[in-house]
Every structure is written in C-alpha cells, then in structure tokens.
C-alpha cells in the first residue's frame, strides 16, 4: 500500500496540524536543516547531536510547543518522525538519548 503524502493544504484548518501550519512566526520556521533528524552529508555523529541539541533548545522555548505536540499526535503513525515539541522521534535510540541528555532545560512559565 503506497504511503500518502502529508499535505497541510488539504487538512482541516481547525485541526492541530492546520493551526500549527498557520503559525507564521514560529522559531523553527526556515530552519529545516537545523531540525532535520537525518545525518547531513559529511556530518559526524557528534556534529549531528550538537545540531539537534540546538534545535531542541529552540523547540523547548517555543510558545507553540503544546500545539506542536497536539499536531504530532494528529499525524498518522508513519509521519510521526522528526523533531516535534522538543522530542526527537525516529532518529534511533542512541541519537535521541544523546541529544536529550544535554539539551537545554525546558523553560518554566512565569509563576510556575
């Protein structure tokens, strides 16, 4: 059975994915290379881990992190891969553990 392509333009605009897609000022916008969980050409494993730690830090301070987590859960299982809401999914256990072990802490909301 062929996989279907994820197409945000055909999704319900009121779904978590639709609402996330409409957010134009997210810190991750335009930084696909930083957030790509796959190894880049010529990139060492350590460089990949460092790059993903930076991405997780950006993610963890994002005001749309909860919406991002909701959008992830709304995706079909075969699309639940990548860096979502500060979590590394589908990069392998070794990479995910290494990234999250020294990633910047989650910023606490004021008054928490």
pLDDT at 5 over 70: no
C-alpha 96/C-alpha 98 separation (Å) is 6
**pLDDT value at residue 76:** 84
**pLDDT value at residue 11:** 67
**pLDDT value at residue 105:** 62
pLDDT at 7 over 80: no
Check residues 46 and 5 and name the one with the higher pLDDT: 46
Share of residues in the chain with pLDDT > 70 (%): 81
**What Cα–Cα distance (Å) separates residue 17 from each residue in 21, 48, 65, 76?**
6, 27, 12, 11
Degrees, nearest 5: CA angle 33-37-38: 90
State if pTM tops 0.85.
no
Q: Residue holding tokens 């990548």?
A: 82
> Rounded mean pLDDT of 98-102?
83
Is 55:34 a contact under the CB 8 Å cutoff? yes
SS (H, E, C) 10-60: HCCCCCHHHHHHHCCCCCCCCCHHHHCCCCCCCCCHHHHHHHHHHHHHHHH
Is 58:51 a contact under the CB 8 Å cutoff? no
């Amino acid at each position: 059975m062929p996989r279907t392509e994820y197409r945000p333009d055909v999704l319900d605009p009121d779904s978590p994915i639709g609402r996330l897609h409409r957010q134009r000022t997210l810190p991750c916008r335009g930084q696909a290379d930083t957030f790509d969980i796959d190894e880049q050409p010529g990139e060492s494993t350590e460089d990949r881990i460092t790059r993903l730690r930076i991405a997780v830090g950006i993610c963890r301070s994002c005001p749309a992190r909860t919406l991002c987590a909701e959008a992830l859960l709304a995706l079909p299982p075969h699309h639940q891969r990548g860096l979502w809401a500060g979590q590394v999914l589908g990069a392998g256990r070794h990479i995910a553990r290494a990234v999250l072990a020294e990633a910047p802490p989650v910023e606490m909301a004021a008054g928490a």
